[in-house]
Structure 1
Amino acid sequence: MSDTTRVNNQKINWFIIQQRQKSRMTETNLSDIRYRKQQLATFKLMLENNQDELLNALYEDLGKSPEEAYVSEIAVLLQEIDFMKRELTKWQRPKRKRHVRLSSFSKTSIQHHPYGSVLIISPWNYPLHLALLPAIGAIAAGNSCFIKPSEYAPATAKLLAQLVENYFSPDSLVVVTGDASVASDLLELPWDFIFFTGSKKVGSIVYEAAAAKQIPIVLELGGKNPCIVDETNLTPAVVQRIIWGKFLNAGQTCIAPDTVYVHESVYDKFLQLAADQIKAFYGSQPIHPSRFGRIAHDKQVEKIVGYLKQGKIYYGGHVDTTNRFIEPTLLTDIPADSPILREEIFGPILPVIPYSDLATLVRQLKSFPDPLAVYVFSKDKKSIQFLKSELRSGAFSLNQVILHAVSSHSPFGGVGASGFGRYHGMASLDTFSYLRMDYENLLPFNIQKQYPPYQSNDINLLRKWRRWLF
């Protein structure tokens, strides 16, 4: 069998499964919350029964310690499942209203309805979390899903495909593994909704494919998330939060504080505290596999190593390309035109830049694309309000990093270059369903002034009774 024939057969098989998922929309009472909750319970069972295997796969792909992998990948999913199961009945209730007007007496009912078959394309940095969290939302909203995990996290992708096949019917959930060509082939199918998490470059390709078929889409992209530390709020606890957030998952986090801007009066103190905190977290030899993760693939290692040459290494800088290890690094004295100050790093390098004037810093940051998050550590209310009003981002987080993005109570997403659309909790139901309004007119007769032919004085009557017309 030729490669072309094999690919065509594969596409046909996907199409058949997708059409079964679509037809299931009419065969199954998807408004039955009990059914959706059963699906969520299956997700939870799959995760709880296979934790060791999942942790091993995450370690194989990214060198994640069991503790970090559990908190950032599995626990987040379990929290989302519990929250969705608890709140779904309330969220799904129809919103009913009655309207009395001059020409009508009507009632309306507004309710969330699932789109149908959803394609989820997920990245390699959190290969379990970012594949399943949108799928949990999509299925809670009544949809069926295909998940295309990243080929750069092969162990997790393979295990996820096996587990989903064991726990779910293809009519509900399918995992398709493979490289970028597989994702490209999947994009040719007539999806009802697409959810993409990844780079801006690939996101643009997915967006164009969706636009060509008028498919609604969410893009969760990256960005350079600035972290501003002013002279009013530099403490060891503040530095501990920033260092944790930056070097979580070896810096491969789309909402990591990408660059820290520190007021010049506390700049030296910040650097010393940051170096001390890295040692406290990871020891003097973080290459030990239980202490620090690995970069996902060789191409990303090459990119990050290039960044190391764009400034002065204040702390760290050790590289082991064979094992895809880069030491947690603080970088200083970076020329203003260096790419590292404009490109998302996505690795364990933290540029630390001094600033003297907040307004000047804001003008500089406003010249960059909109980030997923802005982090501010300050006690100055005037400065905080100024930064809130001047900087556009998906989120503004005061005196903390990362945690705003893992709460089921808070919608997560970007703006502008960092993406569009929101999910988590109620926002997932809003995203993965559309609102349908059912309308019923209860007035048994017509008001003739509403219809042609109109008389000379009718316009004055319409003006007088305008607020009661509709």
Structure 2
Amino acid sequence: MSEEFNTTKLVQHQRDYFNTDATKSVDFRINQLKKMKSLIRQYEDQILGALTLDLGRHPMEGYVSEIMLIINEINFCLKKLKSWTKPKIVENNFFISPAKSKIYYEPFGVSLIISPWNYPFLLSMRPLLGAICAGNCATLKVSEQAPFTSKVILELINRHFPQEYLCALDCGPKETEKLIQSGYDFILYSGETQAGKNIMKMAADTLAPVVLTLAGKSPVIVDETADINHAAKRIVWGKYINSGQTCLAPAYVYVHVSRKDELINAIQQQITKSYGEDPINNSDYGKIINNHHFKKLTAFLSQTEIVFGGRMDEEKLKIEPTIIEVESLHDNIMQEEIFGPILPILTYKDLDILISQLKKLPKPFSLYHFSKHKASINKVNQTLSFGGGCVNDCVIHSTNKYFPFGGVGSSGFGSYVGEQGFKTFSHTKSIIERRKIMIADLLPIMPAYTEKKFKLFRMFAKIIGY
């Protein structure tokens, strides 16, 4: 990181600007959203080209899964922001009536957003929209592992927004540690679990609130009533988009033992239909982010029984969509997050036993259940804890701008997107505007106390439910 981006000075510059109250104006926030939308349109081809270079993404995939979602969310924020920012009037309790009780949403101040490499544009801009909507200044630390997309983001933000308001940085782990310890008022991190734990420890020194969206092994359940062809189609799309490098992609499939062969055959057919007989040379199919991750994935494959796929090309950093059979969750490959185009298939016989097993695992980022049985669907949704999910689909819950996006437990905590993004980057401040006389003023609750006053007041309080 260059001298120009001295972390302490940067935070102070942004705090000084925040303290002018310029960012708190709703009109200011709306203008920044409009400007951001215009810039994304202006840089659209560069963003798509960068996603292809970093991740081998086809422009259609990049547009649908990154740019389109951001533009849609900006439009939503522009429509709703004025109503979100209005103070919320809430009811009073008996003793403080008559008075006005209001909840105000105020920006935290100077926010730090640390984005991941797997969806380098989407997962940079989505939380940044929340910071803008809430009226914060923000520093965006982009991923050095997606250099082409990061370069476009750096230009889009640093060339067109004042550094004291929004600033994008491309820096390594040591410089990122300095950023975290520089006194930000709020931190949002997306990425690996261990890094999230380290960020929590560092943020504790400044007591900055932290939101973490982390990795989490998202299971799929396919029961005996499922539409197998539909399940295969949605699993293949959700798993192999971005070559499996999606935090909420299906991590493994538990299929009822009576439907295993049928599902595996249907998944094979759907892979071929989507990516052809030679996915490695198909431009619709992406690549692994870097050589280090490629070697990690190929090491997994060397330990397993491959049912379908498994071919790879190190020069192109591609591994074709692969299916493996796994005996149990205790197998070695199930101890780590795969985060690639390798799909383990396991079987179960009894849903209650499966639920009991899944309860013993860390809480996943997502869960997907393919079933036509309403009671089973309700049982899974109500008894298992997970960040979010779908019934008879995969991944698409993350596209709903009305939904909070985030994990739970070891897959993270806190959420953002849409109104939840605005609230996440806001402090809720409670204020009572009292009148000259409240009910409490007419009651004997102020010193000097007497035994008689206490008995009478306690009797009155119990009568009205206190």
Q: Calculate the TM-score normalised by the size of structure 2.
A: 0.95
Post-superposition shift, 1:258? 0.7
Distance verdict in 2 for CA 1:406–1:102, change over 3 Å: closer
2:370 pairs, out of 377, 399, 402, with 377
Once the two structures are superposed, the pairs formed by residues 305-324 of structure 1 within 5 Å of their partners are: 305-324=298-317
2:228 pairs, out of 235, 238, 247, with 235
Post-superposition shift, 1:448? 6.9
Further displaced range: 418-427 or 280-289: 280-289
Conserved? CA contact 1:103–1:469, under 8 Å: no
Post-superposition shift, 1:177? 0.4
Partners in 1 of 2:56 and 2:162 — Cα distance?
A: 31
Further displaced range: 384-393 or 102-111: 102-111
Partners in 2 of 1:107 and 1:333 — Cα distance?
A: 61
| CA deviation string 1:425-461 (max 9, x = no partner) | 1111110001112222212584472222211211222
Q: What is residue 392 of structure 1 aligned with on the other side? A: 385
Q: Does 1:175 align with 2:168?
A: yes
Distance verdict in 2 for CA 1:370–1:469, change over 3 Å: closer
Q: Give the unaligned 5+ runs of structure 2.
A: none
**Segments of 4+ in structure 1 off by > 6 A?**
467-470
**Percent of counterpart pairs with the same letter?**
36
Partners in 1 of 2:72 and 2:224 — Cα distance?
A: 37
Post-superposition shift, 1:30? 3.6
Conserved? CA contact 1:310–1:334, under 8 Å: no
2:284 pairs, out of 275, 278, 291, with 291
Partners in 2 of 1:202 and 1:424 — Cα distance?
A: 22
Once the two structures are superposed, the pairs formed by residues 220-369 of structure 1 within 5 Å of their partners are: 220-334=213-327, 336-369=329-362
Post-superposition shift, 1:89? 0.8
Q: Which amino acid aligns with 1:45?
A: S
Once the two structures are superposed, the pairs formed by residues 136-151 of structure 1 within 5 Å of their partners are: 136-151=129-144
Q: Does 1:432 align with 2:425?
A: yes
Q: Secondary structure at the match of 2:123?
A: helix
Distance verdict in 2 for CA 1:102–1:233, change over 3 Å: closer
Q: Secondary structure at the match of 1:369?
A: coil
Distance verdict in 2 for CA 1:29–1:107, change over 3 Å: farther
Conserved? CA contact 2:280–2:320, under 8 Å: yes
Aligned length: 463
Further displaced range: 212-221 or 309-318: 309-318
Q: Which amino acid aligns with 2:37?
A: K
Distance verdict in 2 for CA 1:27–1:312, change over 3 Å: same
Partners in 1 of 2:93 and 2:334 — Cα distance?
A: 59
Conserved? CA contact 1:394–1:415, under 8 Å: yes
Q: What is residue 419 of structure 1 aligned with on the other side? A: 412
Post-superposition shift, 1:155? 0.8
1:202 pairs, out of 188, 195, 198, with 195
Partners in 2 of 1:65 and 1:411 — Cα distance?
A: 28
Q: Does 1:109 align with 2:95?
A: no
Distance verdict in 2 for CA 1:341–1:450, change over 3 Å: same
Q: Give the unaligned 5+ runs of structure 1.
A: 1-5
Q: Secondary structure at the match of 2:15?
A: helix
Q: What is residue 78 of structure 1 aligned with on the other side? A: 71
Partners in 2 of 1:194 and 1:95 — Cα distance?
A: 25
Q: Which amino acid aligns with 1:460?
A: K
1:25 pairs, out of 5, 18, 42, with 18
Conserved? CA contact 1:312–1:334, under 8 Å: no
Post-superposition shift, 1:352? 1.1
Partners in 2 of 1:392 and 1:308 — Cα distance?
A: 30
Q: Secondary structure at the match of 1:39?
A: helix
Q: What is residue 455 of structure 1 aligned with on the other side? A: 450
Distance verdict in 2 for CA 1:442–1:247, change over 3 Å: same
Partners in 1 of 2:465 and 2:349 — Cα distance?
A: 60
Q: Secondary structure at the match of 2:432?
A: strand
Q: Which amino acid aligns with 1:437?
A: S
Post-superposition shift, 1:76? 0.8
Partners in 1 of 2:215 and 2:412 — Cα distance?
A: 8
Distance verdict in 2 for CA 1:469–1:244, change over 3 Å: closer
Post-superposition shift, 1:340? 2.1
Partners in 1 of 2:242 and 2:278 — Cα distance?
A: 17
Q: Calculate the TM-score normalised by the size of structure 1.
A: 0.94
| CA deviation string 1:243-286 (max 9, x = no partner) | 00000100000000110111111111111110010000001111
Partners in 1 of 2:157 and 2:95 — Cα distance?
A: 56
Conserved? CA contact 1:109–1:437, under 8 Å: yes
